[in-house]
Structure 1
Amino acid sequence: MAAGDEVTSPELWRCDPDELGELLQEKEKAVRLLQVEVLDIVAAIHRGNVGKTLGHRNTLGMLQDLLRLSPTEATRRYKRALNLCPSQALTGETLAPTLSIASEAMRRGELADSQIDTIVGVVTRLPARVTIKDREEAEASLVEHAKRYTAPGLAKVGRRIHDHLDPDGPAPSEHENQKPRRELSLHTGRDGRLNFTGSFDSETGTLFSEILSPLAKPRPAENGTPDQRSVSERNGDALAEALNLIADSGKLPTQGAERPHLTITINWDMLRDRLGVAYPHSGAPISPEGVRRLACDADIIPMVLGSDSVPLDVGRNERLITPALRKALIARDKGCARCGRPPRWTRGGTTCSTGPMVGILALTIACSCATAAIA
């Protein structure tokens, strides 16, 4: 059976692997050529302002309304039509496409939609100071690389082109010169989990990545089992460890005449029995088990409250693990007593005896992997 013969779906199983491969390529090329016709129609709609004539918001609105496209897909087709289809001058003369080299390749069925979008993005983002000749050479290079690379590979080629033609990058605005753009939005959910989104400038982003990288490395278990955490989970654990290291550095500025601290009020019976929930001053709930972990390296301040929660007596804070005792624990334990992490990632903690709580404290050095208990 020739590759060009019509094949209905129920008969495809009769084809051998080579025939299926050829058939797939042929049909994909046919689809791409049809897409070119669609883009030519979109370009004509744009030139004639047909969208508003037919009662749509604009060309994008017409694409969304008639073809039921999402705003994202409609925008992609619109950009392809503007850059890869002929336009018309005021005198009525037909003008060549902005990206004529990519347009010719597209009309031969050689470019996938994702490759077209990548090429358009790379070339149109080149600064105005790049000469026409350099633009054309960049476009030709991308089209040639498209014969071997998918869109992600083309994006890497595009970055190298930008680095060559625009090594200094876009000139920062006056506002950006005054202060780099760094944003971080925080939202605490009802369950106490903190969700955040944001973006950093390239310098801060590079520093952030370099800090997380060594902390996010896969850590096999003691029995040699590979680390089962996903990349996102390892990054989350790495950020938690980085925050602990920062908090322990002693170099953070003061706030309210104190170093950064977390104040938690919890009933003694609740702390001992691990039942109920505690609330720090921020309002987010923390389980008693979480409070116990925090208390393993905390300043404990006993406070007696009256029936109306009025403080009757406030004690003095007492450090459970002094710097001198921590050094002794490091010398003895050589790191976390449970997982073996290095001393700089650990804290001095306390664990109770395995029997009933009888007020006997056993000192150990542990990181956040260990659950410390206060008896």
Structure 2
Amino acid sequence: MLDTVHRWEEEATKAADSSLWPLPDAELLDLLRATHRLQQTVAALQIRVVREATLRELPTKHGHRTPAAWLRDQLRLDHRPARDLAEAAAILQTRPAVERALIDGLLDIRQATTIAAAVNAVPYALSDALAATEPDATAARVPATDSDDPSHLDPDRVANHAESTLIEMAAQFPAYQLRKLGDRILAHVAPEIAELADEAALRRAEARAHPRRSLTLSLPVEGLVRLSGALGVEDAAIVSAALQPLCGPMPDDDRSFPQRRADALIDVCRLALRTGELPHDGGEPPQLALTIPFAPLASQLSIPAQPGRLAAHGRPGQPSAHAQPGQLGVGVLPDDERISAATTRRLACDARILPLILGSASQVLDAGRSRRLAHGALRRALTVRDGGCAFPGCDRPSRWCDAHHLRPWSDGGRTDLDNLVLLCRHHHRLLHAPAGGWQAHLGKDRLPVFVPPPWIDPQQRPRRNLFHPRT
């Protein structure tokens, strides 16, 4: 057998090194299908080899606790492929007919393992469904069938029927669709009990899922915090319903769907913070705290060496009108993670900020009063005027928007209706980006006007948002 495999390897190497450009389209497609079938046949052989090695206890003899760990060592595999290979070898051992279909080219490896898992779950589904019926009322709960054979609900018989049905379906459906069909296979092979089985299976799945829910945030790596976790079906539906309205692309939006979904999650959290309905944290409303050392702040704001209260024209975390981006230093969040001065300035436009000035020994020299810059009647007036994000072409509603200062607060800009404009998070970031090139101001009618950079419109003709009503 080993000589045969070596010959396959030699021939496959020659084929892989051959030029493909002379092949006509039809032959190229035939070659694609043939190589896929060959790959699945080799996968079936590999699974049988792994199974035989496991039966001979080679992983244990080589000092490994599991077949997956042994495969990682022998084949230099990553954790996931090694685990998948070991699990495939184990599960296909229980369904010889499925493995035979894999060898014969009727299935690929993912279809095979999906079918095997679905078929192995059939006896448990039948057991749960029958247990849900009254012992003395089973005949009433389970409708009669045309079959006179009382063994029509025999677990082995039903499982074999499900197996053959799913193998036939594999000619039309990929693995992920077969998984859904497998969940409902009793509707095809035992419809008289399928509804009870589905109910029992769903209850069992929900009970297993609830204690396994989780959400973790990793430590930052290169400016990114990785989120990972798992939610139950009901919880995931709630999250999806909250995110979906914010995931649609905007005009000239070059974000990918995962990026839009990430931004939507942040927008939902920003909205929750803005409502003021979250529980207090340590007796204070949820708020963003930013700290910055006193020395660079003093050099930018011309504060005397013996600091007292902050001068009226300066705010912690924001440079003066003459400061260059980055000169002020970085801001520090409550979890000790640092952010750029540019990000600090952007957050300060419409956030609950608690500014802290620190001396050289990290002592607090001055603590500003927590304040929402645009709130109450001013926020309501801004909402009535702009209707939502005022950037041209954007349809984000007002509740998802920040109040952006047209003239920066650090430059003496006032917090009043004529110096504010509503912007969604995406366009707020764009207005603050040095390379963005967009400018915003109020027109003669006191409504927001946006001027594009010359590389978008060489004539830099002013633009307005036409989505939101003007009243």
Offset of residue 105 of structure 1:
2.2
For residue 331 of structure 1, the aligned residue among 370, 384, 405 is: 384
Aligned pair 1:168/2:200, yes or no?
Answer: yes
Match in the other structure for 1:117: 113
SS in structure 1 at match of 2:406: strand
Q: Mean alpha-carbon deviation: is it higher for 20-29 or for 104-113?
A: 20-29
Q: Kindly report which structure 2 residues correspond to 1:45-194, keeping only aligned pairs within 5 A, or say none.
A: 45-47=53-55, 49=56, 51=58, 57=64, 60=67, 72-73=80-81, 75-84=83-92, 98-126=94-122, 128-130=124-126, 131-161=155-185, 164=194, 165-169=197-201, 172=204, 180-189=211-220, 193-194=224-225
Separation of aligned partners in 2, 1:323 and 1:167: 50
Per the alignment, do residues 40 and 296 of structure 1 end up closer, same or farther by CA in structure 2, a change over 3 Å counting?
closer
1:229 and 2:255 are equivalent in the alignment: yes
Which position in structure 1 is the counterpart of 2:150? none
SS, match of residue 147 in structure 1: coil
Cross-structure match for 1:93: none
Cα 1:309–1:171 shift into 2, 3 Å: closer
Determine if contact 2:288/2:354 at 8 Å carries over to the other structure. Answer: no
CA drift at 1:204: 1.4
Deviation sequence 1:36-93 (CA, Å, 0-9, x none): 555555555555x2627975658937766666666655554555554545xxxxxxxx
Q: Does 1:252 align with 2:248?
A: no
State the Cα distance separating 1:246 from its structure 2 match.
0.6
1:105-157 per-residue CA deviation (whole Å, 9 max, x = no partner) reads 23433222222122223223446253222222221121001112232332232
- Distance in 2 (CA, whole Å) between partners of 1:284 and 1:259 is 21
The one-letter code sitting in structure 2 at the alignment partner of 1:108 is: D
Superimposed CA distance per residue, residues 326-370 of structure 1 (whole angstroms, 9 cap, x where no aligned partner): 11122222222325432111233422179x946566422323322
Q: What is the correspondence of 1:27-46 to structure 2 with a 5 Å cutoff? A: 36=44, 39-40=47-48, 42-46=50-54
Give me the CA root mean square deviation. 4.1
Q: Is the contact between residue 336 and residue 342 of structure 1 (CA under 8 Å) also seen in structure 2?
A: yes
1:320 and 2:351 are equivalent in the alignment:
no
The structural deviation recorded for 1:180 is 4.2
User: Which runs of 5 or more structure 2 residues have no equivalent in the other structure?
Assistant: 1-10, 127-154, 188-193, 302-317, 433-471
- CA distance in 1 between partners of 2:362 and 2:73 (Å): 62
2:137 equivalent in structure 1: none
3-state SS of paired residue (1:278) = strand
Question: 5+ residue gaps in structure 1?
Answer: 1-5, 86-97
How far apart are the structure 2 equivalents of 1:344 and 1:80? 50
Structure 1 residues 36 and 263: alpha-carbon distance in aligned structure 2, compared to 1, 3 A threshold: closer
Describe the SS at the equivalent of 2:218: strand
Q: Is the aligned partner of 1:363 residue 2:419? A: yes
Determine whether 1:207 maps to 2:268: no
Structure 2-normalised TM-score? 0.61
- How far apart, CA to CA, are the structure 1 residues paired with 2:64 and 2:365? 69
> In the aligned structure 2, how far is the partner of 1:259 from the partner of 1:65?
53
Q: Quick check: 340-349 or 162-171, which moved more?
A: 162-171
Count of aligned pairs between the two proteins = 348
- 1:95 matched residue in structure 2: none
Cα gap change, 1:106 to 1:353, in 2 (>3 Å): closer
Name the SS for the 2:229 alignment partner.
strand
